[in-house]
Structure 1
Amino acid sequence: MPIYRCSQCGFVSEDAQTPVHSQTACGRCGKPSTVYGTVFFVEELVKRLAATTRELQALRQQTAPAPPEPAAAPAVASEPAVPQANVQGLATEAQHAPLKAWFAARQIDARLEPSHVDTSGFFDDAALLLGGNHALFAELIDRVRYAYRKSHGWINLELANLAQKDAQAIHQLCRQLYEHTFFARCHYQKPEKILRLTLQSVPAVRQFFDGGWLEWYALMTALAQLKGHAGGASCARGVEVVFPNEDLHELDVVALPAGQAPICIECKGGEFRRDIEKYLRLKKRLGLERGRFILCSAELTDEQAAGLSAMYELSFVNLQTLAPHLQRLIAQG
């Protein structure tokens, strides 16, 4: 049965007479409230609970004491996840040539598209913003992705129950994304503290929210760690590789530091457990060591990533541990 919750007094009630997504007067205070289908309403509650849980886990990790470092271990520092200037020379055939040659030497046809690493647009900047505070912005990503999949044209974000600084951060992010055309419209209803976002219909934007943002985040993180590497490096995103038996696979992000083997980063914004066996086979066919085939998931805790890395011949990381892992790989060669 359809249901509504009043944003003013918090009253929750069923309403079988009003069409879904229409407004009805609150039974307690009379304020107009939007009526939703029960399944949709419950799904939204579950998403918010999951987002709150992720934020709580992130806060616990921030406040937990750090384990002591071995005396001989080098200091590991990651680059801040903030928008960077455009990286010149990436979207060229010459930049991709070392990677293409590495695959060709192993009888693997690598199809590299220079436009996939073109940082003159805003995809890279937006990805760094989302990944830089993922604990806070994860719900926004989930809501937008869900709306696209259900063919909804807009979403409402209720900011009234958030801490003031968090509400301001989300509002500011959405305004930035709107200015860079990731949303068709961004309207803030100040009295109700509701942010109404109209979604873009452009496929590239939909693909960005459906997981492309994580690929861009991984690419920019890799570039930050490779900055200044002796001999340079070759990087690509969305690489199609065709093996001699004509098996086709796609690699999300690949980096080839000069004088080293490639580093492959597979980016998973959702379920990945069913793909572990596939990645194990792919790592073996590419002849890469465990550390150089990385599965990056924004949903993993540090403990989960460490546990999975111990179980399988793959390296599991999250957004916080990706940069230190890459730095160690590049330093070790």
Structure 2
Amino acid sequence: MRHCRHHRSKKTKLTKPSPLQDVNLHNTSLLATAEQHASLQAWFVSRQIEAQFDFSHVDTSGFFDDAARMIGKGYALFAELMDRVRFAYRKSHSWVNLELVNLPQKDAQAINTLCRQLYSHTFFARYHYQKPEKIVRLTLQTALTVRQFFEGGWLEWYAFIELIELAQKRGVNFSCARGVKVVFPNEDLHELDVVCLPAGQPPICIECKSGEFRRDIDKYLRLRKRLGMDRHHFVICASDLTQEQAAGLTAMYELTFVNLEMLAPHLTTLM
């Protein structure tokens, strides 16, 4: 792809992204370094934008990325669980009961397995399965990081892993970040959910929405233009969109809308 050289400041030298082709991206703290973020930092500086990174946001040595992958790959089945947990947190409830008796046996087993795996990774404080009644009883974890995960952080982790795994698979060096705070010259502050800068290519930005997003469309249109990114590289990943809805919104606005199933195929067209 063409590199956007006409936007580059003559005083700014973009550093080469560090090679990560042979790294296990699901179990490394190598991403959580200033060196790994350096190319993105330089790209923002070249546009007179201050970028503030929290390196811990890309540390995959914990279980957040693994849990997000499990949820994302089976989201059609797990969506109700996620909605129930998110609703419980919002209403300050401490527990969730899932009745699986009316589900096909295979689906019930998959949901129960996910709940047990999430519990084993401490995403729930307690887990109990009443086998005769086919009821899963979950006690919510009070840790803020876990609450943030269920309230939407899981989708950021899912998009992040999909993006950097694709770059790695394509043999592309890259610089990546999550939760980037960007400050424009007029001091406007915005946060970017997921950003990846493949070597020799324009950056890719993914904004993740597990809830309502329609009121934010105009904000994203302005943000895309201020970043100088084309519509294909500025992606709104909304978990509850159908493919028809995503295609319709993409046709209406100068943004790219995808759901979880459409994310990887679209990213493949960019690298």
Give the TM-score normalised by the residue count of structure 2.
Answer: 0.89
CA drift at 1:84: 6.8
Instruction: Tell me the distance in 1 between the aligned counterparts of 2:80 and 2:240.
Output: 12
Higher RCO (Cα < 8 Å, 6 or more apart): 2
1:193 to 134, 140, 160: 134
Judged with a 3 Å threshold, the aligned counterparts in structure 2 of structure 1 residues 321 and 231 are, in CA distance, closer, same or farther, namely closer
The answer as to 2:94 corresponding to 1:176 is no
The answer as to 2:61 corresponding to 1:120 is yes
| 1:159 corresponding residue in structure 2 | 100
Judged with a 3 Å threshold, the aligned counterparts in structure 2 of structure 1 residues 84 and 117 are, in CA distance, closer, same or farther, namely closer
Q: Is the 2:65–2:157 contact (alpha carbons within 8 Å) kept by the matching residues of 1?
A: yes
CA drift at 1:85: 3.6
What CA RMSD, in Å, does the superposition of the two structures yield over aligned residues? Answer: 1.2
Per-residue CA distance 1:136-159 (angstroms, 9 max, x = gap): 100000000000010000010001
Q: Which amino acid aligns with 2:117?
A: Q
CA drift at 1:88: 5.2
| 1:296 corresponding residue in structure 2 | 237
1:226 to 167, 173, 176: 167
Instruction: Tell me the distance in 2 between the aligned counterparts of 1:203 and 1:311.
Output: 37
Per-residue CA distance 1:3-32 (angstroms, 9 max, x = gap): xxxxxxxxxxxxxxxxxxxxxxxxxxxxxx
Instruction: Tell me the distance in 1 between the aligned counterparts of 2:148 and 2:195.
Output: 19
Instruction: Tell me the distance in 1 between the aligned counterparts of 2:60 and 2:243.
Output: 30
The answer as to 2:138 corresponding to 1:202 is no
Instruction: Tell me the distance in 2 between the aligned counterparts of 1:98 and 1:260.
Output: 12
Per-residue CA distance 1:124-182 (angstroms, 9 max, x = gap): 00000000010110000000000001000001000111110111101110000000000
Q: Is the 1:295–1:317 contact (alpha carbons within 8 Å) kept by the matching residues of 2?
A: yes
Structure of greater Rg: 1
Matches within 5 A, 1:1-333: 85-87=26-28, 89-230=30-171, 232-330=173-271
Instruction: Tell me the distance in 1 between the aligned counterparts of 2:172 and 2:132.
Output: 57
Per-residue CA distance 1:201-239 (angstroms, 9 max, x = gap): 000000000000000000000011101445500010000
Moved over 6 A (4+): none
Instruction: Tell me the distance in 1 between the aligned counterparts of 2:208 and 2:111.
Output: 24
Q: Which amino acid aligns with 1:210?
A: E
Per-residue CA distance 1:234-257 (angstroms, 9 max, x = gap): 010000000000000000000000
Q: Is the 1:268–1:296 contact (alpha carbons within 8 Å) kept by the matching residues of 2?
A: yes
Taking every aligned residue pair, what percent have the same amino acid on both sides?
A: 69
Q: Is the 1:230–1:258 contact (alpha carbons within 8 Å) kept by the matching residues of 2?
A: no
Q: Which amino acid aligns with 1:151?
A: S
